Amino acid sequence: MENTAIVTAVHRDRYELCVGTEILYGRLKTTAFYNSGETVMFPTVGDRVRVLRNADGDSTILKVMERKSVFMRLNATQGLPDQAVAANFDDVFITMSLNKDFHPSKLERYLTAAWQSGGTPVILLTKSDLKEDREQVLAQVNSLAPGVDVYCVSSYTGEGFSQLEKYFANGHTIVLLGSSGVGKSSFVNVVMGSEQMQTSDIRESDAQGRHTTTYKQMFYIPDRIILPDKSVIKGGGRIIDTPGMRKLIMGEGTDGMESMFEDIEELALQCRFSDCRHQTEPGCAVKKALETGELDQRHWKTYLSLQKEEAYARERQQILMRKMEKSKRRR
């Protein structure tokens, strides 16, 4: 019997699936995902999939249904398509610690990926209880991400969680993104009301916690969330935790670049030449803005870095498509 299921966890080649209130496990149908000769979507956490139930063992995942949003990153294996990290979420919670993890270029990178995913970025500045003077960081974040909601939270004291109640509501799904040690797992534990994710103590040397998240997982948030200060807020939605990434490498797609670097795109339209590379050409509005300080040098370097990564991802995708075409012609 076929059913529609939601992928709630990925363990290498085995998937945890939720059908209603029932949990079952599944594996991919080999011919559908590996031997079709076409570009296919491999399941990730949050995906809705069609499965063939098996009462005696793992069910068979037949196909991935259309996604409303997806967070992608470049596949580390040459010749393979971009990897889906999470799918079908509403908001992307970009988590950065108010301690040593915070870096403007890293934030811009995550914001670009968030806009590109189709979700709405929300910035969480974690471990607020360990940072007394946060105004400078908040000012920097607001200048980098105008219009994006920013919250300071502490999983130890519960500060900031009541402001997030609307994101935890029934029918709402959020995904957590961020480096290892920024407090994603602690955040999940507070929302879930129990230790779903193991964390280690905060190191005094750098005031960072470490966690053991090694795979992607979705949790169903309880209807009532009891915060560390014993106050209660409403829940009912879903939250996806992802492994910490040392460096997020951009996949193919330009929507995020246009949203995050709109200022540079607008400056480029003012250049004398439409094909200006912003290097030695006369009448370059971008070069002029860099010289006058109107355009921040660090912001420009991040743009160039992400632009190169996006071009590289596009080239890899084109090579992959050509390989698939050759494979189809041989059949």
Positive/negative CA dihedral, 258, 261, 262, 265: negative
Structural domains in the chain, sorted by start: 2-66 (2.40.50.140), 86-241 (3.40.50.300), 255-330 (1.10.40.50)
Decide which of 298 and 228 is more confident: 228
pLDDT in tens, 138-180: 888 988 888 899 999 999 999 999 999 999 999 899 999 888 7
Question: Would you report the helix, strand and coil content of the chain in percent, each value rounded to 5?
Answer: 30, 25, 45
- Per-residue pLDDT, averaged over 99-112, amounts to 80
The rounded mean pLDDT for the chain is 80
| 211 pLDDT tier (thresholds 50, 70, 90) | very low
Q: How far is CA 174 from CA 114, 154, 162, 214, 237, in A?
A: 12, 18, 16, 19, 8
pLDDT in tens, 52-98: 998 888 999 999 999 999 988 766 556 566 778 899 999 999 998 88
pLDDT in tens, 281-295: 899 998 888 888 888
**What is the C-alpha separation between 31 and 191, in angstroms, rounded?**
40
| 204 pLDDT tier (thresholds 50, 70, 90) | very low
Q: How far is CA 125 from CA 34, 146, 236, 262, 274, in A?
A: 41, 16, 23, 24, 40
pLDDT in tens, 107-149: 888 888 888 888 999 999 988 887 667 888 888 898 888 889 9
Decide which of 193 and 324 is more confident: 193
70 in helix, strand or coil? strand
Predicted local confidence at residue 269, as pLDDT: 86
Strands 173-177 and 217-220: unpaired
Asked which of 34-43, 78-87, 110-119, 264-273 is least confident by mean pLDDT, the reply is 34-43
> How would you classify residue 37: left for phi > 0, otherwise alpha for psi between -120 and 50, otherwise beta?
left
Asked which of 72-76, 80-84, 192-196, 256-260 is least confident by mean pLDDT, the reply is 256-260
Asked which of 14-18, 106-110, 227-231 is least confident by mean pLDDT, the reply is 106-110
Pure H helices in 132-271: 135-144, 184-192, 255-260, 262-268
